[in-house]
Amino acid sequence: METTRWSYVSGTSDVPLLGVTIGDCFDAIAARFPDNEALVVRQQGLRYTYADLKTEVDRCARGLMALGIAKGERVGIWAPNRAEWLITQLATSKIGAILVNINPAYRLHELEYALHQSGCSALVFAPQFRGADYSAMLYELLPEMRQARPGHLAAGRLPDLRTVIRLGDEPAAGMFTWSDVLAAAERVSPADLAARQAEQQFDDPINIQYTSGTTGYPKGATLSHHNILNNGYFVARLMRFTDKDRLVIPVPLYHCFGMVMGNLGCITHGATIIYPSEGFEPLAVLQAVQEERATALFGVPTMFIAELDHPEFGRFDLSSLRTGVMAGAPCPVEVMRKVHSLMNMREVEICYGMTETSPVSTQTRIGAPLEKQVGTVGQVHPHVEIKIIDPVSGKVLPRGQTGELCTRGYSVMLGYWNNEEATRKAIDAAGWMHTGDLAVMDEEGYINIVGRIKDMIIRGGENVYPREIEEFLYTHPKISDVQVIGVPDERYGEEIMAWIKLKPGETADEEEIRQFCRGQIAHFKIPRYIKFVDSFPMTVTGKVQKFRMREQSIEELNLRAAASMRTA
């Protein structure tokens, strides 16, 4: 055997991958656990057994077929966490339509891009969320809808979009209601649905999730039944899930954390899905855990911090909790320790991954030493390979050396939707997904993420690419140049800072810049800190030195304490 131990591991497993579609898997679980509680949506007052949920999913699937949604067509969903999200997710998988997840925080500029780039023919949306009037925004984007017959939209800015479905029963010009869709199911027989479902293959694309791009435009990671069904299954299996587990999901469903690790993780084991509120509210999470006797809880670090810091935290009985996952951003070691002890989650696990890998590639294991549980992102997932390479030469590095983490296996996406060039840059000829993350592997195969090759910012679990914000700010009439960086933050992990160079003779203040952003880009992309400058730190070859900007900003903003926080 070789004496050098290379930074390569293969995730072995005595459990085979699931070779079925999402729809077929769901039907099998519903037949096995018909009376088990499948879904609890507390803010809607809804509860479904697996038998109930199957009835609703099949109605929705038949309704979408009646509206003419064909296999391979894209159906966007722009809504917070609620029952219709999961029902649409499962219904589209049965009829072979590709669900396009749209962040509820998206505003017009981002919404238009996602719908146009994916070629959505239908959109399911909530009327409003957290003060944003989605209906008004859609009428602004699609003025033709006011005169259109539902299902016959012909919009200049979105020529592929013909059908818009508004959740609820209240009619609106040019749109179907959710009730209309369910009523339309009468026009399609169960046999017709079964025939359509039988046409699906597990390698078919079933989901597009937008992940911001360094070119300034989001890229649509295209995922198959096989990708996400298996990833959800194995995440939950490593948490030792059974049909008796009850999971509170406060993370958004538009993201892999919610819809794959949460929804599909539960469904593949006959467990119970619990949505505590439309968007994250720490009190609602604590109430849901206590009142629903939850055994598991998901969250990004900022969510767990908010729950632990809530003034009423001490009055809640969290003794039913056993496990859960903290992921989506670097996990502070001290926060993990508190979750472990104060929230009774002694089997809490950290997951690491990315949308393009469905998402999880590594996970801590129950029974691992505490330091490994709280201080690393775990070991390789079953049926997945990991290597750490020299980013310049591409060669695998010895263990203990820092390099770029690459992953290969069933979980790697099919590619970026209609973007072959970006796909080729991300996935090499041997099938390795290059993550852009700097990592180190120890002798036991545990992984630590130590930085990022790219300058991506992770703010409270949201991936933010500076170039996208820079591209938008360049459209401000007073701005000559702008550079966006991430600076450390104790609550969100990182916050966004913009260094702005104004055009000669112009003046502006921070509020003017933020006001320009409001309603145009998602709230989490709006810079927290703004600094007006005459120039940027540059190399002799003219490249901006963002690391120097970050160092300077940490000093000026007195963020040294946040910068020194330990994470896994």
Contact status, residue 484 vs residue 452, Cβ threshold 8 Å: no
The pLDDT of residue 455 is: 72
Task: Tell me the C-alpha distance between 421 and 534, whole Å.
Answer: 36
Task: Tell me the C-alpha distance between 280 and 304, whole Å.
Answer: 11
| Stated pTM of the model | 0.85
3-state SS, residue 397: coil
The pLDDT of residue 26 is: 99
The pLDDT of residue 216 is: 56
CB hemisphere CA count around 205 (13 angstroms) = 23
Where does residue 416 rank: exposed (0-12), middle (13-18), buried (19+ CB within 10 A)?
buried
The angle formed by the CA atoms of residues 118, 124 and 125, to the nearest 5 degrees, is 110
Domains in the chain: ranges and CATH: 19-383 (3.40.50.12780), 459-563 (3.30.300.30)
The pLDDT of residue 320 is: 98
The pLDDT of residue 541 is: 46
The angle formed by the CA atoms of residues 343, 334 and 258, to the nearest 5 degrees, is 60
Amino acid letter for position 261: M
Cβ atoms within 10 A of the Cβ of 432, count?
20
Where does residue 320 rank: exposed (0-12), middle (13-18), buried (19+ CB within 10 A)?
middle
Cβ atoms within 10 A of the Cβ of 364, count?
28
The pLDDT of residue 150 is: 98
3-state SS, residue 375: helix
In sequence order, the 6+-apart residues with CB closer than 8 A to the CB of 362 are 351, 352, 353, 377, 378, 379, 380, 381, 386, 447
Q: How far is CA 48 from the centre of its chain?
A: 25
Report phi then psi at 538, rounded to 5: -130, 155
Task: Tell me the C-alpha distance between 494 and 492, whole Å.
Answer: 5
> Six-digit token pair at 522?
């998602």
Q: Are strands 415-416 and 219-224 parallel, antiparallel or unpaired?
A: antiparallel
Peptide bond into 359 cis (omega under 30): yes
Which residues does the chain have with pLDDT short of 70? 1-3, 212-216, 451-452, 454, 539-543, 568
